[in-house]
Structure 1
């Protein structure tokens, strides 16, 4: 799939930041390739992070026992979601590729971006009990994380003080993106640009520009197909477990069957 419509969800307060430079590089390179690129600048938009009853127009079905998941599902079906949510959902519907550009905060995304996930990826629109993971809603779309860290790469290794970056990325790439069906491209990680020299920062951006040239043809990361699980209990089927029983590593970071998690499975395609 060649992405022609790209959405960049950008989460940084400063237009002069390295993160903004990475976003600008993506806009420039992808536009030059003929893509239509749209940017959701969450801080500039003053995007509301908290998922509240205000996200729904009209009556609430069970106001005294408010359930955000159920109420927003109903509101989505009846076209009663707030305007800021529906605008972002429209952008996402049109996009072939989504790039989330942000600085890593506390081993995750900034709160404003987490709010985008919470509020935009509503039940029904982005997932359902029948449509999830490899059979999810957005199987025709690609998505990726592009982010900066405050720590050096060595600190995010299996023997590093922060732990394995593959483990850190699992909730974001599997639990959000793959859960909604996205084909997840390997992340673009800018290791500690704030402590790097200007020359190294420039080299990071040039590497990103080079990758962007072929980004639309990249193969996605590998995740376990939903067919490998018993849909009654969502456990790996016995024959699948048996097939992998004698292998050195587990199947994925999150589903490793008591073995060591496979190296680089959340960072490189084909691992």
Structure 2
């Protein structure tokens, strides 16, 4: 079997941070397994987060009304994207799995990592209107969010002050990653590391190291397959009526996003359910 390639997209300003330690554990563990590991260190690179016309070489097709998605799609087809975007796209193409390592900022990724997603995952390269979700361009690749939080785990429970972590993760895991076709693995969450004693931080890293040894073989999270939806403009791309009827008597909704006005399925965005069939 050919060695796997792992891309780590890393966002933290300090080389002495816990996130840096988690990144290093991933590099060491995966390299020891024979993987090729590539690290994109966004802050060290001074990666530009703003998606602008500067991302395109040459003339714009419609400079009077600049539409980033349209212009970058054309530029991608004509090989006119900026060099930094092209280099990151090359890494993504090569990678079998992408690990995003970051601190949770304002319930999402840091701005510099959001900029990476906006600028690198361009139309044409990462998706087309026809190639999304189950038919996504990256359906043969895996990805995982690995991040630290400022709050303790109980604050992110359904009755916690911050609200259900599954709801927090839905836009990133379904709206960005699975939208592009990725098989999304359960997130690796390091709870409240700033207040954890050294022994607990060490234990967290060792748990990550242990998981990394089997990460490439993990089953992805469960998302609603596109075949369950009526994919027509007339129907509004909504869940098929027979599926709504099938779930009418169920205690939980289909997913965190398609909850159907019911209780959210527990841990839908945090734990894989290999036995769940839709």
TM-score (norm 1): 0.98
Matched, 1:209 2:186: no
2:249 is the alignment partner of 1:246: yes
Q: Which residue number in structure 2 is paired with residue 38 of structure 1?
A: 38
Q: Distance in 2 between matches of 1:112 and 1:182?
A: 21
Give the CA RMSD over aligned residues.
1.1
1:2 Cα offset (Å) = 8.9
Q: Secondary structure at the match of 2:203?
A: helix
Aligned to 1:145: 145
CA–CA distance in structure 1, aligned partners of residues 248 and 104 of structure 2: 35
Residue in 1 that maps onto 2:120: 120
Answer with 103-112 or 235-244: which moved more.
Answer: 235-244
How far has the Cα of 1:26 moved from its partner? 0.2
State the aligned residue count.
Answer: 271
Instruction: Give 3-state SS (helix, strand or coil) of 1:131's partner.
Output: coil
- Unpaired stretches in structure 1, ≥5 consecutive residues: none
| Cα distance in 2 between the residues matched to 1:114 and 1:107 | 12
Alignment match, 2:263 = 260
How much does 1:151 deviate? 0.3
1:13-162 equivalent positions in 2, closer than 5 A: 13-162=13-162
Which whole-Å CA distance do the structure 2 matches of 1:113 and 1:216 have between them? 23
**Aligned counterparts of 1:117 and 1:217: Cα–Cα separation in 2:** 25
Alpha-carbon distance between aligned partners in 2 of 1:3 and 1:52, rounded to the nearest angstrom: 37
The answer to whether the 8 A contact 1:3-1:97 is kept is no
8 A Cα contact 1:2 1:217, kept in partner: no
SS of residue paired to 2:180: coil
Contact 1:31 1:37 in 2 (8 A): yes
Alpha-carbon offset, residue 245 of structure 1: 1.1
- Superimposed CA distance per residue, residues 17-46 of structure 1 (whole angstroms, 9 cap, x where no aligned partner): 000000000000000000000000000111
Q: Distance in 1 between matches of 2:237 and 2:209?
A: 40
Q: Is the 8 A contact 1:2 1:216 kept in 2?
A: no
Deviations 1:237-260 (A, max 9, x none): 111111111100000000010101
Distance, in Å, in 2 between the alignment partners of 1:95 and 1:225 is: 24
Name structure 2 gaps, 5 residues minimum.
none
Task: Tell me if the contact between 1:12 and 1:19 (Cα under 8 Å) persists in the aligned partners.
Answer: yes
Q: Following the alignment from structure 2 to structure 1, what is the Cα–Cα distance between the partners of residues 243 and 181? A: 21
List per-residue Cα deviations over 1:69-114 (Å, max 9, x = no partner): 1000000000000000000000000100000000000000000000
- Deviation of 1:3 after TM superposition, in Å, equals 7.2
User: Normalised by the size of structure 2, how large is the TM-score?
Assistant: 0.96
Contact residue 3 and residue 36 of structure 2 kept, 8 A: no
Distance 1:221 1:81 in 2: 33
Q: Secondary structure at the match of 1:43?
A: helix
